[in-house]
Amino acid sequence: MDIVAFGVQVDERPLLEKAFAERHQVRCLDVFLNRDTAPIAAGYAVVSASVNDDLSAEVLQSLAAGGTKMIAQRSTGFNNIDLEAAADLGLTIGRVSAYSPYAVAEFAWTLALAVNRGLVRAVNRTRNFDFRLDGLMGRDLRGRTAGVIGTGKIGEAFTRIAHGFGMNLLGWDIAENPACVDLGMRYVDQRQLFAEADLITLHVPLLAATRHLIDADALAAMKDDAILVNSSRGGLVDTAALVETLKAGRLAGVGLDVYEEEAGLFFLDKSLDVISDDTLARLMTFGNVLVTSHQAYFTAEAVGQIVDTTVANVEDYLAGRTNENTLVTPGQRPAAVR
Percent of the chain surpassing pLDDT 70? 99
In this prediction, residue 331 has a pLDDT band, given cuts at 50, 70 and 90, of: confident
320: in domain: yes
Residues 6+ apart with CB under 8 A from 228: 200, 201, 214, 222, 237, 242, 251, 253, 254, 255
CB 313 within 8 A of CB 326: yes
Domain that holds residue 126: 101-291
pLDDT of 79 over the 80 cut: yes
Domain CATH number, residue 11: 3.40.50.720
**What's the pLDDT score for residue 337?**
42
pLDDT of 290 over the 80 cut: yes
pLDDT of 335 over the 90 cut: no
Q: Which residue is catalytic, options 294, 301, 333, 338?
A: 294
Q: Which residue is catalytic, options 12, 144, 233, 260?
A: 233
337: in domain: no
Instruction: State how many domains the chain has.
Output: 2
pLDDT digits (tens, 9 = 90+) for 204-221: 999 999 999 999 999 999
The answer to whether 262 is a known catalytic residue is: yes
In this prediction, residue 338 has a pLDDT band, given cuts at 50, 70 and 90, of: very low
Least confident piece of the model among 58-67, 104-113, 322-331: 322-331
174: in domain: yes
176: in domain: yes
> Is the pLDDT higher at 70 or at 52?
70
Averaged pLDDT, 119-140:
96
The answer, as to whether pTM is greater than 0.75, is yes
CB 179 within 8 A of CB 158: no
The answer to whether 333 is a known catalytic residue is: no
Q: Which residue is catalytic, options 12, 156, 196, 262?
A: 262
The answer to whether 233 is a known catalytic residue is: yes
338: in domain: no
Of the CA atoms within 13 Å of residue 217, those in its CB half-sphere come to 5
**What's the pLDDT score for residue 336?**
46
CB 268 within 8 A of CB 53: no
In this prediction, residue 77 has a pLDDT band, given cuts at 50, 70 and 90, of: confident
Rounded CA gap, 133 and 148, in Å? Answer: 31
Residues 162 and 277 in one domain: yes
pLDDT digits (tens, 9 = 90+) for 169-198: 999 999 999 999 999 999 999 999 999 999
Mean pLDDT of the chain: 95
Residues 130 and 243 in one domain: yes
Residues 87 and 107 in one domain: no
In this prediction, residue 332 has a pLDDT band, given cuts at 50, 70 and 90, of: confident
42: in domain: yes
CB 39 within 8 A of CB 65: no
Residues 320 and 177 in one domain: no
Averaged pLDDT, 239-255:
98
In this prediction, residue 92 has a pLDDT band, given cuts at 50, 70 and 90, of: very high
pLDDT of 53 over the 60 cut: yes
Rounded CA gap, 4 and 63, in Å? Answer: 12
